[in-house]
Amino acid sequence: MHDHLAQDGGAEKVLKVLSEIFPEAPIYTLLYEKDNADKYYKDKKIETSVIQKMPGGVKHYQWYMPFMPMAVEFFDMSNFDLVISDTSSFAKGVITSPDSLHICYCHTPTRYLWSDTHSYIQELKYNKYFKKIISLILNYIRMWDKLAADRVDAFLANSETVKTRIKKYYRRNSTVIYPPVEIDKFSPDPKKKEDKNPYFLVGSRLTPYKRIDIVIEAFKELGWNLKIFGDGVDKKRLQKISRGYDNIEFLGRVSDRELADLYRDSRAYIHPQTEDFGITAIEAMACGTPVVAFRSGGATETVSENKTGVFFDQQKPEAIIKAVQKLSARQFDPGEIRREAEYFSVDNFKKEIIDYLAQYFPDIKKKI
């Protein structure tokens, strides 16, 4: 059970690997966009909710948020002995039979309902009266979300950071299994030489909480080269901030192969945001590239200071400048950085998932 297949993010990477472990299992989701889903799930049986058929249900699925709890509960899971929900919002609310086991792989308790609810409402581009209506809707969904969490038999958390949030908001214990990173697509360049025009790299979905704006401000002052990959709702604002600075380049969306080359050839990857886990930092490390990370969230579990990168403690341009200068004065071993990243491989994720499920289904290893 997956929230929705409308983008290709970290949760979808987890779903992809889960579907490899259980190739015959159907996938239930609120909705899916074929352009994204068919790439990995062309031969899979995908069951969608009523929202899929509603006007704008795929392109503008956010409109239907108040109805998503009901849509999830409509799915009939009575024939399954094991249900795995891969979720950061609604999928955990699915109703299962008394004899089935429901494992929730939780990427985070829903951000806009719990940890980020006030900033979420403030950032909405609506007037204050409409925001009050949205607050009332979120209050209703928040109550449902807590009840939905009570339906889960066991939680898996994608990081220690998320484990703490699950305990805080849902009052439930969980086991940490880090998400899979396709590190085989990323590797160091043994022939890499010092570039006469080195650049730093940052990127992801371009949204405000990623804090790429403070990276831009830092590099405007430094005058060093910065490349930004990705696309999103914050792109125009970020381009406006960087206007007139030729050292800052927007690359748009890039392929996996192009991204690997960008990681490999960069001086360092910059991770300025708080993430539940942070897959891009691991991808950079898999290429032997050090990371400049904000000391918060999943990065504190994946980046080793002065070994695979450096940290900064405030989300301010001046803190990034100091961290980048500190990193530039040090030498890092690409091979050592790569070895640190290998712990987060797809194969290791599969092994940990199967070992975990074996406590409930002792014969599972014989069947997979």
Residues counted in the chain: 368
Taking residue 105's Cβ as centre, other Cβ atoms within 10 Å add up to 24
List the strands of the sheet with 199-203, edge to edge. 248-252, 225-229, 199-203, 269-271, 291-294, 309-312
Q: In terms of C-beta density within 10 A (0-12 exposed, 13-18 middle, 19 or more buried), how is residue 214 classed?
A: buried
Residue 192 pLDDT > 80, yes or no?
no
Name 339's Cβ contacts closer than 8 Å, sequence gap at least 6. none
CATH topology for 10-180+346-367?
Rossmann fold (3.40.50)
Alpha helices in 42-177 (DSSP H): 68-73, 117-123, 128-150, 160-165
- What pLDDT is stored for residue 193 in this prediction? 58
Residues 259-302 pLDDT 10s: 999 999 999 999 999 999 999 999 999 999 999 999 999 999 99
- Express each pLDDT in 302-330 by its tens digit: 999 999 999 999 999 999 999 999 999 99
Report field, pTM of the whole predicted structure over 0.75: yes
Cα dist from 243 to 222, 236, 340, whole Å:
15, 10, 37
pLDDT recorded at residue 113: 87
Task: Give tens-digit pLDDT for 175-184.
Answer: 999 999 999 9
At residue 200, the 3 state secondary structure works out as: strand
Q: CA–CA distance from 198 to each of 170, 293, 357 (Å)? A: 46, 19, 46
| Mean of per-residue pLDDT scores for the chain | 92
Q: In the prediction, which pLDDT does 143 show?
A: 96
Write the CATH number of the domain with boundaries 183-343. 3.40.50.2000
- Give the percent of the chain with pLDDT over 70: 96
Percent of the residues in the chain that have a pLDDT greater than 90, as a whole number: 76
Q: Running DSSP on this structure, what letter comes out for residue 168?
A: I
Strands (E) located in 230-290:
248-252, 269-271
Q: How many CB atoms lie within 10 A of CB 365?
A: 11
Res 353: pLDDT: 97
Q: How confident is the model at residue 194 (pLDDT cuts 50, 70, 90)?
A: low
